[in-house]
Amino acid sequence: MLLSLIRMLGGTVLLTTRPESNPPRRTRRPGIAVVVFLCGVALLSSAARAQSVPPPAAAFDDGPHIYWANMSNAFVFYVCGGQFKMEHYRVAGTLTFPGLCADSLVERSVAARAPKPDAFEFTGASRILTVSDIHGEYDALIAFLRKAGVIDDALHWAWGDGHLVVLGDVFDRGDRVTEILWLVYRLEGEAKQAGGAVHYLLGNHEMMVMQGDLRYTNQKYLGGIVKMTGIKYPDLFGPDTELGRWLRRKPVAVRIDDVLFVHGGLGPAEVERGLSLADINGTTRAAIDMSSAALFFSDLPFFLIGSEGPLWYRGYFEAPGTRYDQITPVQLDSVLAFYGAKAVVVGHTEDDVAPIKREYGGKVYGVDVIVEQLGGFEGLLWKGGTFFRVRVDGTVEPFTEQAAPVTP
Protein backbone atom coordinates (compact mmCIF):
# COMPACT_ATOMS: atom_id res chain seq x y z
CA MET A 1 0.00 0.00 0.00
CA LEU A 2 2.76 2.41 0.94
CA LEU A 3 4.70 1.81 -2.28
CA SER A 4 1.53 2.26 -4.31
CA LEU A 5 0.99 5.65 -2.73
CA ILE A 6 4.56 6.70 -3.33
CA ARG A 7 4.37 5.69 -7.00
CA MET A 8 1.56 8.24 -7.35
CA LEU A 9 4.36 10.80 -7.47
CA GLY A 10 4.89 9.77 -11.09
CA GLY A 11 8.12 9.43 -13.06
CA THR A 12 11.07 7.57 -11.65
CA VAL A 13 10.90 7.29 -7.87
CA LEU A 14 13.63 5.66 -5.85
CA LEU A 15 12.44 4.52 -2.43
CA THR A 16 14.69 2.23 -0.48
CA THR A 17 15.36 1.68 3.15
CA ARG A 18 19.01 1.74 4.08
CA PRO A 19 20.39 1.16 7.52
CA GLU A 20 23.02 3.45 8.92
CA SER A 21 26.62 2.23 8.69
CA ASN A 22 27.30 -0.70 11.05
CA PRO A 23 23.84 -0.85 12.68
CA PRO A 24 22.46 -3.74 14.68
CA ARG A 25 21.29 -6.44 12.26
CA ARG A 26 17.78 -6.17 13.52
CA THR A 27 15.02 -5.01 11.22
CA ARG A 28 12.63 -2.38 12.44
CA ARG A 29 9.57 -1.06 10.77
CA PRO A 30 9.21 2.69 10.34
CA GLY A 31 7.03 4.31 12.98
CA ILE A 32 3.58 5.68 12.33
CA ALA A 33 4.96 9.19 11.85
CA VAL A 34 7.03 7.90 8.91
CA VAL A 35 4.03 6.31 7.23
CA VAL A 36 1.91 9.41 7.74
CA PHE A 37 4.61 11.60 6.23
CA LEU A 38 5.01 9.44 3.13
CA CYS A 39 1.28 9.10 2.60
CA GLY A 40 0.89 12.82 2.96
CA VAL A 41 3.57 13.47 0.36
CA ALA A 42 1.93 11.10 -2.09
CA LEU A 43 -1.60 12.36 -1.61
CA LEU A 44 -0.62 16.00 -1.89
CA SER A 45 1.36 15.21 -5.02
CA SER A 46 -1.66 13.43 -6.48
CA ALA A 47 -3.80 16.50 -5.81
CA ALA A 48 -1.25 18.71 -7.54
CA ARG A 49 -1.26 16.42 -10.58
CA ALA A 50 -5.03 16.44 -10.68
CA GLN A 51 -4.90 20.22 -11.05
CA SER A 52 -2.57 19.74 -14.05
CA VAL A 53 0.20 21.92 -12.63
CA PRO A 54 3.38 20.83 -14.44
CA PRO A 55 6.91 21.05 -13.03
CA PRO A 56 9.45 23.25 -14.86
CA ALA A 57 9.94 22.14 -18.44
CA ALA A 58 13.72 21.79 -18.18
CA ALA A 59 15.33 19.01 -16.16
CA PHE A 60 16.73 20.27 -12.85
CA ASP A 61 18.35 19.06 -9.66
CA ASP A 62 17.59 19.98 -6.07
CA GLY A 63 18.71 18.43 -2.84
CA PRO A 64 19.49 16.79 -0.64
CA HIS A 65 16.66 17.52 1.76
CA ILE A 66 16.50 15.49 4.95
CA TYR A 67 13.28 14.96 6.87
CA TRP A 68 13.66 13.65 10.42
CA ALA A 69 10.59 11.56 11.22
CA ASN A 70 12.25 10.92 14.58
CA MET A 71 15.82 10.47 15.79
CA SER A 72 15.89 6.92 14.42
CA ASN A 73 14.23 7.46 11.02
CA ALA A 74 15.30 9.91 8.35
CA PHE A 75 14.22 10.41 4.73
CA VAL A 76 16.71 11.82 2.23
CA PHE A 77 15.03 13.15 -0.90
CA TYR A 78 16.06 14.89 -4.09
CA VAL A 79 14.92 15.97 -7.50
CA CYS A 80 17.45 14.58 -9.98
CA GLY A 81 17.12 15.59 -13.61
CA GLY A 82 13.52 16.55 -12.94
CA GLN A 83 12.66 13.22 -11.25
CA PHE A 84 11.95 12.62 -7.58
CA LYS A 85 14.21 10.23 -5.63
CA MET A 86 14.06 9.26 -1.98
CA GLU A 87 15.69 6.90 0.47
CA HIS A 88 14.71 5.97 4.01
CA TYR A 89 17.46 5.45 6.57
CA ARG A 90 17.29 3.90 10.00
CA VAL A 91 19.71 5.91 12.10
CA ALA A 92 21.75 4.97 15.13
CA GLY A 93 23.34 8.22 16.24
CA THR A 94 24.63 9.50 12.89
CA LEU A 95 23.02 9.53 9.45
CA THR A 96 25.59 8.75 6.76
CA PHE A 97 24.52 8.69 3.13
CA PRO A 98 25.90 9.11 -0.42
CA GLY A 99 24.37 11.65 -2.78
CA LEU A 100 21.66 10.61 -5.21
CA CYS A 101 22.26 13.15 -7.99
CA ALA A 102 25.40 14.69 -9.44
CA ASP A 103 26.78 14.45 -5.90
CA SER A 104 26.71 10.64 -5.92
CA LEU A 105 30.41 10.50 -5.00
CA VAL A 106 29.83 12.71 -1.96
CA GLU A 107 29.16 11.11 1.41
CA ARG A 108 27.52 13.22 4.10
CA SER A 109 27.32 12.57 7.82
CA VAL A 110 24.67 14.25 9.93
CA ALA A 111 24.10 13.81 13.65
CA ALA A 112 20.60 12.75 14.62
CA ARG A 113 20.63 15.00 17.67
CA ALA A 114 20.62 18.69 16.76
CA PRO A 115 23.53 20.69 18.25
CA LYS A 116 23.02 23.71 20.49
CA PRO A 117 22.65 27.23 19.03
CA ASP A 118 25.83 28.70 17.56
CA ALA A 119 28.01 30.99 19.64
CA PHE A 120 27.97 34.71 18.85
CA GLU A 121 31.05 36.14 20.58
CA PHE A 122 34.63 35.31 19.54
CA THR A 123 38.12 36.64 20.23
CA GLY A 124 41.58 36.11 18.78
CA ALA A 125 40.70 35.98 15.06
CA SER A 126 43.71 36.23 12.76
CA ARG A 127 41.64 37.46 9.80
CA ILE A 128 37.99 37.74 8.83
CA LEU A 129 36.46 37.73 5.35
CA THR A 130 32.84 38.81 5.00
CA VAL A 131 30.49 38.28 2.06
CA SER A 132 26.76 38.94 2.00
CA ASP A 133 23.48 38.70 0.08
CA ILE A 134 24.39 35.63 -1.99
CA HIS A 135 20.78 35.10 -3.19
CA GLY A 136 21.31 31.72 -4.84
CA GLU A 137 24.34 32.80 -6.93
CA TYR A 138 26.34 29.65 -6.24
CA ASP A 139 28.81 29.89 -9.13
CA ALA A 140 29.68 33.51 -8.36
CA LEU A 141 30.21 32.67 -4.70
CA ILE A 142 32.47 29.72 -5.55
CA ALA A 143 34.53 31.85 -7.92
CA PHE A 144 35.01 34.56 -5.30
CA LEU A 145 35.92 32.20 -2.45
CA ARG A 146 38.47 30.45 -4.67
CA LYS A 147 40.14 33.68 -5.75
CA ALA A 148 40.18 34.93 -2.18
CA GLY A 149 41.92 31.72 -1.10
CA VAL A 150 39.16 30.57 1.25
CA ILE A 151 38.52 27.31 -0.63
CA ASP A 152 40.65 25.22 -2.97
CA ASP A 153 39.78 23.94 -6.43
CA ALA A 154 37.97 20.96 -4.87
CA LEU A 155 35.83 23.41 -2.84
CA HIS A 156 37.38 22.44 0.50
CA TRP A 157 38.41 24.86 3.26
CA ALA A 158 41.86 26.32 2.57
CA TRP A 159 41.94 29.33 4.88
CA GLY A 160 43.46 27.79 7.99
CA ASP A 161 42.52 29.65 11.15
CA GLY A 162 40.69 32.43 9.30
CA HIS A 163 37.04 33.31 9.87
CA LEU A 164 34.48 33.50 7.06
CA VAL A 165 31.29 35.46 7.75
CA VAL A 166 28.28 34.88 5.48
CA LEU A 167 26.12 37.83 6.40
CA GLY A 168 22.68 36.46 5.50
CA ASP A 169 20.35 36.39 2.50
CA VAL A 170 21.52 33.17 0.90
CA PHE A 171 17.86 32.57 -0.02
CA ASP A 172 15.65 33.83 -2.86
CA ARG A 173 16.10 35.22 -6.37
CA GLY A 174 18.74 32.76 -7.63
CA ASP A 175 18.25 29.07 -8.42
CA ARG A 176 21.07 27.36 -6.48
CA VAL A 177 20.12 28.09 -2.90
CA THR A 178 20.29 24.48 -1.70
CA GLU A 179 23.82 24.06 -3.05
CA ILE A 180 25.02 27.13 -1.15
CA LEU A 181 23.43 25.97 2.09
CA TRP A 182 25.18 22.59 1.92
CA LEU A 183 28.49 24.24 0.94
CA VAL A 184 28.39 26.49 4.00
CA TYR A 185 27.21 23.56 6.13
CA ARG A 186 30.24 21.51 5.08
CA LEU A 187 32.75 24.36 5.32
CA GLU A 188 31.69 24.97 8.92
CA GLY A 189 33.00 21.57 9.92
CA GLU A 190 36.16 21.78 7.82
CA ALA A 191 37.02 25.24 9.15
CA LYS A 192 36.57 24.12 12.74
CA GLN A 193 38.95 21.20 12.21
CA ALA A 194 41.55 23.62 10.80
CA GLY A 195 41.24 26.04 13.72
CA GLY A 196 39.12 28.54 11.79
CA ALA A 197 35.41 29.28 11.74
CA VAL A 198 32.46 29.90 9.44
CA HIS A 199 29.66 32.13 10.71
CA TYR A 200 26.34 32.12 8.85
CA LEU A 201 24.06 34.88 10.12
CA LEU A 202 20.33 35.04 9.44
CA GLY A 203 19.11 37.75 7.08
CA ASN A 204 15.64 38.99 6.31
CA HIS A 205 15.26 36.54 3.41
CA GLU A 206 16.01 33.54 5.61
CA MET A 207 13.30 34.75 7.96
CA MET A 208 10.89 35.43 5.08
CA VAL A 209 11.18 31.93 3.66
CA MET A 210 10.90 30.16 7.01
CA GLN A 211 7.80 32.20 7.82
CA GLY A 212 6.16 31.61 4.44
CA ASP A 213 6.82 34.86 2.56
CA LEU A 214 7.83 33.56 -0.89
CA ARG A 215 7.64 36.76 -2.95
CA TYR A 216 11.24 36.41 -4.14
CA THR A 217 11.59 32.62 -4.25
CA ASN A 218 12.85 31.29 -7.57
CA GLN A 219 10.27 29.49 -9.71
CA LYS A 220 12.60 26.49 -9.95
CA TYR A 221 11.57 25.58 -6.42
CA LEU A 222 7.92 26.62 -6.44
CA GLY A 223 7.29 24.97 -9.79
CA GLY A 224 9.58 22.03 -9.10
CA ILE A 225 10.00 20.15 -5.85
CA VAL A 226 7.01 21.92 -4.28
CA LYS A 227 4.65 20.88 -7.09
CA MET A 228 6.13 17.41 -7.39
CA THR A 229 5.83 16.52 -3.71
CA GLY A 230 3.17 18.82 -2.29
CA ILE A 231 5.64 19.86 0.42
CA LYS A 232 5.41 23.59 0.93
CA TYR A 233 8.68 25.40 0.35
CA PRO A 234 8.97 26.74 3.94
CA ASP A 235 8.47 23.16 5.20
CA LEU A 236 11.65 22.11 3.39
CA PHE A 237 13.34 24.26 6.04
CA GLY A 238 11.04 23.44 8.93
CA PRO A 239 12.23 22.39 12.40
CA ASP A 240 11.98 18.69 11.44
CA THR A 241 14.37 18.98 8.47
CA GLU A 242 18.15 19.04 8.70
CA LEU A 243 18.60 22.38 6.94
CA GLY A 244 15.74 23.83 8.95
CA ARG A 245 17.12 22.87 12.33
CA TRP A 246 20.60 24.01 11.19
CA LEU A 247 19.20 27.44 10.29
CA ARG A 248 17.51 27.66 13.68
CA ARG A 249 20.94 27.42 15.32
CA LYS A 250 22.14 30.56 13.53
CA PRO A 251 22.63 33.94 15.18
CA VAL A 252 21.44 37.33 13.98
CA ALA A 253 24.33 39.37 15.38
CA VAL A 254 27.91 38.28 16.08
CA ARG A 255 30.89 40.09 17.59
CA ILE A 256 34.37 38.94 16.62
CA ASP A 257 37.00 40.79 18.64
CA ASP A 258 35.89 44.42 18.34
CA VAL A 259 33.87 44.10 15.11
CA LEU A 260 30.08 43.66 15.11
CA PHE A 261 28.43 41.72 12.27
CA VAL A 262 24.69 41.90 11.51
CA HIS A 263 22.68 41.62 8.29
CA GLY A 264 20.72 44.88 8.39
CA GLY A 265 22.09 46.78 11.35
CA LEU A 266 21.63 47.70 14.98
CA GLY A 267 20.26 51.16 15.69
CA PRO A 268 19.34 53.36 18.63
CA ALA A 269 16.18 51.35 19.32
CA GLU A 270 18.12 48.26 20.41
CA VAL A 271 20.19 50.38 22.78
CA GLU A 272 17.10 52.10 24.20
CA ARG A 273 15.60 48.69 24.89
CA GLY A 274 18.84 47.53 26.49
CA LEU A 275 19.02 44.43 24.27
CA SER A 276 22.16 42.33 24.61
CA LEU A 277 23.42 40.15 21.77
CA ALA A 278 22.05 37.16 23.70
CA ASP A 279 18.61 38.83 23.83
CA ILE A 280 18.65 39.59 20.11
CA ASN A 281 19.82 36.16 18.99
CA GLY A 282 17.69 34.10 21.34
CA THR A 283 14.45 36.02 20.81
CA THR A 284 14.82 36.21 17.02
CA ARG A 285 15.44 32.47 16.77
CA ALA A 286 12.35 31.81 18.89
CA ALA A 287 10.31 34.11 16.64
CA ILE A 288 10.92 31.92 13.58
CA ASP A 289 8.23 29.43 14.58
CA MET A 290 5.77 31.80 16.22
CA SER A 291 2.36 32.25 14.61
CA SER A 292 1.51 35.62 13.09
CA ALA A 293 -0.94 36.25 15.91
CA ALA A 294 1.61 35.40 18.59
CA LEU A 295 4.14 37.69 16.90
CA PHE A 296 1.69 40.56 16.62
CA PHE A 297 0.95 40.47 20.33
CA SER A 298 4.57 39.93 21.43
CA ASP A 299 6.41 43.23 21.57
CA LEU A 300 10.06 42.16 21.44
CA PRO A 301 9.84 39.40 18.78
CA PHE A 302 7.64 41.67 16.66
CA PHE A 303 10.22 44.46 16.89
CA LEU A 304 13.21 42.23 16.17
CA ILE A 305 11.84 40.76 12.93
CA GLY A 306 10.24 44.04 11.86
CA SER A 307 11.50 46.94 9.76
CA GLU A 308 13.44 48.57 12.61
CA GLY A 309 15.00 45.32 13.77
CA PRO A 310 18.44 43.93 12.88
CA LEU A 311 17.25 41.98 9.83
CA TRP A 312 15.77 44.99 7.98
CA TYR A 313 17.35 48.16 9.40
CA ARG A 314 18.84 50.53 6.79
CA GLY A 315 19.59 53.57 8.94
CA TYR A 316 23.34 53.59 8.26
CA PHE A 317 22.93 54.62 4.64
CA GLU A 318 19.55 56.23 3.94
CA ALA A 319 19.22 60.02 3.92
CA PRO A 320 17.11 61.80 6.56
CA GLY A 321 13.42 62.08 5.69
CA THR A 322 13.16 58.64 4.13
CA ARG A 323 11.67 55.58 5.83
CA TYR A 324 14.81 55.23 7.93
CA ASP A 325 16.25 58.32 9.55
CA GLN A 326 19.99 58.18 9.04
CA ILE A 327 21.80 57.39 12.25
CA THR A 328 23.83 60.28 13.65
CA PRO A 329 27.52 59.93 14.58
CA VAL A 330 26.60 60.30 18.24
CA GLN A 331 23.94 57.58 17.99
CA LEU A 332 26.34 55.28 16.13
CA ASP A 333 29.01 55.75 18.79
CA SER A 334 26.40 54.88 21.40
CA VAL A 335 25.48 51.66 19.57
CA LEU A 336 29.10 50.60 19.14
CA ALA A 337 29.94 51.37 22.76
CA PHE A 338 26.90 49.45 24.01
CA TYR A 339 27.94 46.33 22.08
CA GLY A 340 31.67 46.66 22.78
CA ALA A 341 32.66 47.24 19.16
CA LYS A 342 34.71 49.72 17.15
CA ALA A 343 33.00 49.01 13.82
CA VAL A 344 29.91 47.31 12.42
CA VAL A 345 29.72 45.30 9.17
CA VAL A 346 26.35 44.89 7.44
CA GLY A 347 24.77 43.65 4.21
CA HIS A 348 21.18 44.20 3.06
CA THR A 349 21.54 47.69 1.53
CA GLU A 350 22.94 47.92 -2.00
CA ASP A 351 24.70 50.99 -3.36
CA ASP A 352 24.40 51.86 -7.05
CA VAL A 353 27.76 53.66 -7.05
CA ALA A 354 30.19 52.13 -4.57
CA PRO A 355 30.92 48.41 -4.27
CA ILE A 356 32.06 47.74 -0.67
CA LYS A 357 31.04 50.82 1.33
CA ARG A 358 33.05 52.52 4.10
CA GLU A 359 31.14 55.13 6.11
CA TYR A 360 31.43 57.19 9.29
CA GLY A 361 35.22 57.26 9.19
CA GLY A 362 35.53 53.50 9.06
CA LYS A 363 32.96 52.70 11.73
CA VAL A 364 30.41 51.24 9.26
CA TYR A 365 31.08 48.89 6.33
CA GLY A 366 28.45 47.71 3.84
CA VAL A 367 29.15 44.52 1.88
CA ASP A 368 25.97 44.07 -0.19
CA VAL A 369 27.17 44.55 -3.76
CA ILE A 370 25.41 44.38 -7.13
CA VAL A 371 26.81 41.19 -8.66
CA GLU A 372 25.44 41.95 -12.14
CA GLN A 373 27.34 45.25 -12.28
CA LEU A 374 30.62 43.97 -10.85
CA GLY A 375 30.62 40.58 -12.57
CA GLY A 376 30.87 38.75 -9.24
CA PHE A 377 31.06 39.19 -5.49
CA GLU A 378 33.32 41.44 -3.50
CA GLY A 379 34.22 40.94 0.15
CA LEU A 380 35.52 42.77 3.17
CA LEU A 381 38.74 41.58 4.77
CA TRP A 382 39.73 42.42 8.35
CA LYS A 383 43.33 41.69 9.23
CA GLY A 384 45.58 43.11 11.91
CA GLY A 385 42.89 45.53 13.02
CA THR A 386 42.52 47.05 9.52
CA PHE A 387 39.82 46.62 6.87
CA PHE A 388 40.50 45.96 3.18
CA ARG A 389 38.31 45.57 0.11
CA VAL A 390 38.61 42.23 -1.71
CA ARG A 391 37.75 42.69 -5.38
CA VAL A 392 36.02 40.21 -7.67
CA ASP A 393 39.38 38.89 -8.88
CA GLY A 394 40.68 38.37 -5.33
CA THR A 395 42.83 41.50 -5.31
CA VAL A 396 43.09 43.05 -1.87
CA GLU A 397 42.96 46.84 -1.73
CA PRO A 398 43.28 49.17 1.24
CA PHE A 399 40.64 51.81 1.83
CA THR A 400 43.49 54.20 2.55
CA GLU A 401 47.15 54.12 1.51
CA GLN A 402 49.25 51.61 3.39
CA ALA A 403 52.92 50.88 3.36
CA ALA A 404 52.81 47.26 2.21
CA PRO A 405 50.49 44.96 0.21
CA VAL A 406 48.38 42.45 2.08
CA THR A 407 47.80 38.75 1.42
CA PRO A 408 44.27 37.54 2.31
What is the tens place of the pLDDT at every residue in 11-42?
A: 344 444 554 433 332 233 334 344 444 444 44
Res. 375: pLDDT tops 70: yes
Q: How confident is the model at residue 53, as a pLDDT?
A: 37
Closest-CA residue to 257 (of 348, 150, 341): 341
CB-CB neighbours of 77 under 10 Å: 24
CB 242 within 8 A of CB 68: yes
Say how far apart CA 314 and CA 358 lie, in whole Å. Answer: 15
Average per-residue pLDDT for the chain = 86
Res. 4: pLDDT tops 60: no
Q: How confident is the model at residue 260, as a pLDDT?
A: 98
CB-CB neighbours of 48 under 10 Å: 18
pLDDT: is 59 or 247 the higher one? 247
Q: How confident is the model at residue 350, as a pLDDT?
A: 86
Closest-CA residue to 256 (of 164, 193, 335): 164
Q: How confident is the model at residue 324, as a pLDDT?
A: 82
* Digit-coded pLDDT (tens) for 87-135: 999 999 999 999 999 899 999 999 999 889 999 999 999 999 999 999 9
Q: Is 407 left (phi over 0), alpha (psi -120 to 50) or beta?
A: beta
Domains recognised in the chain with CATH numbers: 2-111 (no CATH), 121-202+250-398 (3.60.21.10)
Q: How confident is the model at residue 144, as a pLDDT?
A: 98
Q: How confident is the model at residue 9, as a pLDDT?
A: 42
CA angle, 39 as apex, 45 and 234 as ends, to 5°?
A: 60
- Judged by average pLDDT, the poorest of 149-158, 295-304, 320-329 is 320-329
Say how far apart CA 131 and CA 379 lie, in whole Å. Answer: 5
Say how far apart CA 268 and CA 334 lie, in whole Å. Answer: 8
Residues above pLDDT 70, as percent of the chain = 82
pLDDT: is 32 or 380 the higher one? 380
Say how far apart CA 313 and CA 315 lie, in whole Å. Answer: 6
pTM: 0.86
CB neighbour list of residue 361: distance below 8 Å, 6 or more residues apart: none
Name beta bridge partners: 14: 85
* Digit-coded pLDDT (tens) for 158-177: 999 999 999 999 999 999 99
* Digit-coded pLDDT (tens) for 386-403: 999 999 999 999 997 443
Q: How confident is the model at residue 115, as a pLDDT?
A: 86
Q: How confident is the model at residue 321, as a pLDDT?
A: 61
Half-sphere exposure of 56 (CA within 13 A, CB side): 20
Q: How confident is the model at residue 325, as a pLDDT?
A: 86
Res. 351: pLDDT tops 90: no
Res. 259: pLDDT tops 90: yes
Q: How confident is the model at residue 28, as a pLDDT?
A: 32
Q: Output the 3-class SS for the chain.
A: CHHHHHHCCCCCCEEEEEECCCCCCCCCCCCHHHHHHHHHHHHHHHHHHHCCCCCCCCCCCEEEEEEEEECCEEEEEEEECCEEEEEEEECECEEEEECCCCCCCCEEEEECCCCCCCCCEECCCCEEEEECCCCCCHHHHHHHHHHCCCECCCCCECCCCCEEEECCCCCCCCCCHHHHHHHHHHHHHHHHHCCCEEEECCCHHHHHHHCCCCCCCCHHHHCCHHHHHCCCHHHHHCCCEHHHHHHCCCCCEEEECCEEEECCCCCHHHHHCCCCHHHHHHHHHHHCCCCHHHHHCCHHHHHHCCCCCCCCCCCCCCCCCCCCCCCCHHHHHHHHHHCCCCEEEECCCCCCCCCCEEECCCCEEECCCCHHHHCCCCEEEEECCEEEEECCCCCEEECCCCCCCCCC
Say how far apart CA 336 and CA 270 lie, in whole Å. Answer: 11
CB neighbour list of residue 126: distance below 8 Å, 6 or more residues apart: 160, 161, 162, 383
CB 126 within 8 A of CB 161: yes
Residues above pLDDT 90, as percent of the chain = 78
Say how far apart CA 252 and CA 201 lie, in whole Å. Answer: 5
Averaged pLDDT for residues 230-251? 97
